[in-house]
Each structure stands twice: as structure tokens, then as C-alpha cells.
Amino acid sequence: EIRTPMNGILGMLELIDKPGLDAVQRHYVDIARRSGRTLLDLINDVLDLSKIESGKLELEKKPFSLRELTEDLCSLYSQQVQNKH
């Protein structure tokens, strides 16, 4: 199962995220967690695409928060943008 290692990493990040972390440490854990979730979503998307191509996946409509998605993407890529400038 390709998702198992990523779920393990996300689980470890949950264990690391303790109240004693300073602001910088918490920021790094948050970035790692969001990056891990994004990677897991990408893995799921690739697996779903494979199912779609083989005719084994039914699509469903689900509500989502565009604001939350946009904030997550901006946060995820902000460091890369800063490094380029």
C-alpha cells in the first residue's frame, strides 16, 4: 500500500505537535503536516485517476471551502516563491 508510509509520517507529526513547542517549531510542524496531507491527496488523486481510466471509479460531488484550499496552497508554496525572489 503506497499510502501507508505517508500516513505513518502524518501520525508522527501529530505526536510531535505538543504544547511545549515554540512558535517556530510549531510553524515547521504545521508546514510538514500540510505538505504531507498534500502529498497524500496527490497519491490518492493518482490512484483515483487509475480507477477512472479503468472505469472502476464513480465520481461524487462534495462541498469544500475554497478559502481553506486557497490558504493551504498559498502557505504550502510561499517558501518556494520567496526562494525564487
Does the predicted TM-score (pTM) go above 0.85?
no
Q: Please say if the pLDDT value at position 59 is more than 80.
A: no
Mean pLDDT of 4-10: 93
Provide the pLDDT for residue 24: 95
| Grid cell digits, residue 58 | 464513480
Cα separation, 33 vs 40, in Å, equals 10
pLDDT at 11: 95
**Residues 28-37: what's their mean pLDDT?**
93
Mean pLDDT over residues 51-75, rounded?
91
